[in-house]
């Protein structure tokens, strides 16, 4: 299935294709403060309609995920990184997807504070 999403102001719009199943809620300092619910997909499954210059980037801790956010409204819809195998992946904030009923999702708790 293809899902559409974007930032609050609409400047960063994207589509992601895949089967939305389990999402992850991490308790690290960054994810918990942002309220992320993350869905990990292969990088090529996410397409966005924003010039790269409209995306600001934040990295922290081990600097392995580039968390992207709109430089206008501050909303953080996705990030890019790599799996342990080296395969490129995208971490999609499902709170930024259109028409998703969050209460229907299976949420896995991740202890990111310990990583």
CATH number of the domain that residue 14 is part of: 2.170.150.70
Q: Cβ distance 15 to 1 under 8 Å? A: no
Range of the domain at 73: 2-114
Q: Which residues of the chain have pLDDT under 70?
A: 50-53
Give the pLDDT score at 102. 92
Q: How far apart are the first and last CA of the chain?
A: 32
User: What is the secondary structure of 22-44 as a DSSP string?
Assistant: EEEEE-SHHHHHHT--EEEEEGG
Separation of alpha carbons 14 and 83, rounded Å: 21
Total number of domains in the chain: 1
Separation of alpha carbons 50 and 6, rounded Å: 10
Give the pLDDT score at 61. 75
Whether this prediction's pTM lies above 0.75 is answered by yes
Give the pLDDT score at 108. 95
Separation of alpha carbons 78 and 71, rounded Å: 13
């Amino acid at each position: 299935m293809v899902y559409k999403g974007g930032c609050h102001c609409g400047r960063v719009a994207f589509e992601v294709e895949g089967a939305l199943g389990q999402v992850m809620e991490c308790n690290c300092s960054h994810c918990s403060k942002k309220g992320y619910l993350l869905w990990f997909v292969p990088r090529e499954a996410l397409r966005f309609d924003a010039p790269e210059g409209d995306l600001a980037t934040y990295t922290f801790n081990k600097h392995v995920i580039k968390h992207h956010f709109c430089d206008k409204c501050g909303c953080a819809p996705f990030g890019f990184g790599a799996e342990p195998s080296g395969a490129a992946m995208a971490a999609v904030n499902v709170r930024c997807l259109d028409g998703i009923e969050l209460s229907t999702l299976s949420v896995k708790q991740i202890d990111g504070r310990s990583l």
